[in-house]
Structure 1
């Protein structure tokens, strides 16, 4: 059944207690006042996703980038990436040799923004809340390895895991593990609307137009105690419909920074014709793009169809012609810049080859042309997505083995439909929760995964993922990850396409831009300052 967006009057009533009306920003830009950052991320409350900023539901980069400013976690990934370090915690660590018991001690004097003390019981409440609610967005899967949580007094908490997991400190650094107050959040249901309360470096005021956020204004939290050092008093995050609208605001000095996501044309223009008043910064990125499959859908249920697509897709053409210098071909779920990567798809299928694809389909007795619709989202990954899917359609149809159409859908409708299994083939991007190869495998292949896919490989789930997590030395898990990548290339539940770079453009008087976006596309607004700040 198709579900519709909530009626605006009803939604306005729902959000009224926690939001203020849209209006002019109190912050300045273009050389003075508060720092204003532009984004093309869309934040929409719908019937399918009524709680876009609830840590028990939020599982996209845009929402996480709002939560990271406001909701504190026990650990966080430090400036420049690397292993997680304590944030709300004073210290954390495994208390055994097999990575199955993890203890954290909270900082002295830690409080929520309203002054209420943060205790170990709040940590237990917050994480058990995620597991109890178990939203269909896939968030609970990150914490599903927890067996029990044991508070020891007000300041200590011990996590007992079901199986060893050397990646657990990374998971505690994600907004899913954000520390919440029982006074503000129900333990058994999501908090509808856009309100956020926490103990993070900022408090936030969210402005909206009906069911859609227009801006979020972050103000320094005077009660914050943690590892993060703020270089500003206030930052505004302003949401734009697309990269062109964001670019016009930047050119008019209405915003100081263009973050996620600039278009390839904007990046090329600023690279080829640099402006003295603008700094374009390339930031290492770990984003990937891929096609996902509902492996129970009749059109792609036979893996021969998916294998044939893998044999003819020309990643180099897509990366070069659509995205230029901002993308490179990807032949595995794990990008080449992450330890454990192997070129599994290239090793199996080689260069694009229509004859090979035809032979795969012939041996499986699949009639051609195979009729498919490829779905993509029009407003979540930037303007290049439509061109990318036109290129994919052209490549597949040129073989005469496929009869492909493409259809664009806005993100607020696309994601619920994808999770329901409405689409046989769909395009998605992945920005890692943390920079470890596990986070390019488990969210796609483990139980209760992000894709809500019907595909299940018992060897991967029961043997290989647990085996990889037992290795505290992550390089020692390379062989296990290689096996999983080869299985993906054989069964093709997903088809990797390309991995991307990321760029930030800023007015010349803004400092800290090189630290404002890390490799996982985490927006770190506290790094931004004016002049030499």
Structure 2
């Protein structure tokens, strides 16, 4: 289809009626199609908002991107783009495919692309993905199908991955305001979707129904299953109980160690892959023992961090405590990312990934550190993003082996932890990172930019210089080498102590197949198949 853009008013009226009907009764779980359950919160449909993990799960199904990750892998491929490349000056030029449409009939062209990115940065919703777009200097429309991104670092090799992240969702200019978030009702009634699925109805707090979009022209292809229902759960136990009872076909999102063991006992099919989210112990270089607020002895402070690293048993945390819901983390990025390296495995403990209390004692004695060293770790019990209380109680026991440390766990609310970090009153705390992009720099930058994410008072000009080099390096071999140097510098300084990596986990019943975890870091509905 060619020609001008239109509003599609009759479709909007039909959609409003469908919305009201959905709110009144809601879809039946006995209907045809696959029923998925999730305990991930869906807080908003607007991709510029803080959607929560559940919102991003929904957005992956209904909004297109210029680029996406190839199904089943990490390779970036065009989604609704026909081509995407750096020009000679280092700008990123994207040309759209022909005849693109939203589900409501509006034409999808370069104006929508420019609008999508400009509104993200204009709204800058708290907790939203707008910070990922900080590297864009300007975005302009060359013609109806061509968009030019001028970058603050021309030739930034990490930028294509941003286009495939939640920050890169393309929305309908006719529906989404330029300076405020669209409401869920506005979005659902206008049907401004151009992903593999169209969101048909939303029963707030309970059910969302999806229908495959026959006009989708992106890289993910036509969905195998045309109808999907997503049921929202407030707790993981209820989700696990329903999939075990075959009340739903598949459970994804929010399943933890307690549910994992139970589902294995119920002989359900469990699919588990690295999930991208990391959990680690964060040190405040000012407040920690021998930190700059106290005796300001960097040598002894580093010895304390090193000895703690020698005592951690990550395999025990992953296998015994987390029941396979996590895997050991020996580096500073997700294991499945290009350039990931288990640098900590050989540098600490027994040199094979295990703990070594004798080595920890040697490090402390060599630095003249009196033992036991007292350290308070501030934790938020059962924070799904950064760890569980069980993990940190096990870690406390590990760190006290040999009597070298006296570890106290201070259990607080998220608000109290945030206040303590701002005031600089927290020596070490439970931390984590769930990146929204697949480029390795999205993992490493938070450790290195002082107070941008960790509030750790750590900075290292050498490491920052190393981090800047890979950004514009187009040679993959040289880029990988520079990224390894960054990780080695982080391992030497230990601003954080990596512990475990979250695993994406799905439990299937009713013979559902086609669960694929890939570089999208979420579940794509389109590959799911009923027997």
Question: TM range, normalised to the smaller chain?
Answer: 0.7 to 0.9
Change in 2 beyond 3 A, CA 1:372/1:452: closer
> Does residue 85 of the first structure (1) align with residue 89 of the second (2)?
no
Q: Residue deviations 1:260-280, cap 9 Å, x none?
A: 243345444555663xxx433
Matched residue SS, 2:108: coil
> Does residue 318 of the first structure (1) align with residue 305 of the second (2)?
no
Deviation at 1:151, TM superposition (A): 0.6
Question: Which moved further from structure 2: 105-114 or 522-531?
Answer: 105-114
Aligned to 2:489, which of 467, 487, 490? 487
Deviation at 1:257, TM superposition (A): 0.2
Q: Residue deviations 1:369-402, cap 9 Å, x none?
A: 43424323536359x8232122122223454523
Deviation at 1:348, TM superposition (A): 3.5
Deviation at 1:133, TM superposition (A): 3.8
Deviation at 1:512, TM superposition (A): 2.0
Deviation at 1:74, TM superposition (A): 0.8
> What is the match of residue 327 of structure 2?
328
> What is the match of residue 132 of structure 1?
122
> Does residue 184 of the first structure (1) align with residue 164 of the second (2)?
no
Q: Residue deviations 1:146-202, cap 9 Å, x none?
A: 222121121111112222222322211112011223443343344566865543233
The whole-number CA distance in structure 1 between the counterparts of 2:91 and 2:40 is 37
> Does residue 469 of the first structure (1) align with residue 471 of the second (2)?
yes
The whole-number CA distance in structure 2 between the counterparts of 1:232 and 1:414 is 45
Equivalences for residues 256-335 of structure 1 within 5 A? 256-264=249-257, 266-268=259-261, 270-271=263-264, 274=267, 278-283=268-273, 285-295=275-285, 297=287, 301=291, 303-304=301-302, 305-335=304-334
The whole-number CA distance in structure 2 between the counterparts of 1:19 and 1:416 is 40
Equivalences for residues 175-214 of structure 1 within 5 A? 175-191=166-182, 196=187, 197-204=192-199, 205-208=201-204, 213-214=205-206
Question: Which moved further from structure 2: 312-321 or 356-365?
Answer: 356-365
TM-score, normalised to structure 1's length?
Answer: 0.79
Matched residue SS, 2:501: strand
TM-score, normalised to structure 2's length?
Answer: 0.79
Deviation at 1:21, TM superposition (A): 8.3
Matched residue SS, 2:319: helix
> Does residue 502 of the first structure (1) align with residue 494 of the second (2)?
no
Change in 2 beyond 3 A, CA 1:271/1:250: closer
Deviation at 1:71, TM superposition (A): 2.0
Matched residue SS, 1:388: helix
Deviation at 1:75, TM superposition (A): 1.0
Equivalences for residues 221-232 of structure 1 within 5 A? 221=213, 224-228=216-220, 229-232=222-225
| Contact preservation (8 Å) 1:19, 1:195 | no
How many correspondences in the alignment? Answer: 490
Q: Bigger radius of gyration, 1 or 2?
A: 2
Deviation at 1:243, TM superposition (A): 2.8
Matched residue SS, 2:411: strand
The whole-number CA distance in structure 1 between the counterparts of 2:231 and 2:498 is 31
> What is the match of residue 166 of structure 1?
157
The whole-number CA distance in structure 1 between the counterparts of 2:213 and 2:416 is 35
| Contact preservation (8 Å) 2:135, 2:151 | yes
- CA-based RMSD: 3.7
| Contact preservation (8 Å) 1:103, 1:156 | yes
Change in 2 beyond 3 A, CA 1:268/1:348: same
> What is the match of residue 244 of structure 1?
237
Q: Residue deviations 1:430-462, cap 9 Å, x none?
A: 45544443332135435895556654433333x
> What is the match of residue 530 of structure 2?
530
In the alignment, structure 1 segments of 5+ residues that lack a partner are: 1-17, 45-51
Matched residue SS, 2:27: coil
Change in 2 beyond 3 A, CA 1:284/1:317: closer
Equivalences for residues 363-378 of structure 1 within 5 A? 363=367, 369-376=373-380, 378=382
> What is the match of residue 439 of structure 1?
442
> What is the match of residue 62 of structure 1?
54
The whole-number CA distance in structure 1 between the counterparts of 2:20 and 2:495 is 41
Q: Residue deviations 1:394-438, cap 9 Å, x none?
A: 22345452331142657xx69976986786544344455444433
The whole-number CA distance in structure 2 between the counterparts of 1:160 and 1:139 is 19
| Contact preservation (8 Å) 2:41, 2:53 | no
| Contact preservation (8 Å) 2:63, 2:170 | yes
Aligned to 1:119, which of 109, 116, 122? 109
Q: Residue deviations 1:487-520, cap 9 Å, x none?
A: 222332222112354332222342322x2x3255
Change in 2 beyond 3 A, CA 1:429/1:414: farther
> What is the match of residue 27 of structure 2?
26
In the alignment, structure 2 segments of 5+ residues that lack a partner are: 1-18, 293-300
> What is the match of residue 12 of structure 2?
none
Question: Which moved further from structure 2: 238-247 or 399-408?
Answer: 399-408
Deviation at 1:70, TM superposition (A): 1.9
> What is the match of residue 399 of structure 2?
396
> What is the match of residue 3 of structure 2?
none
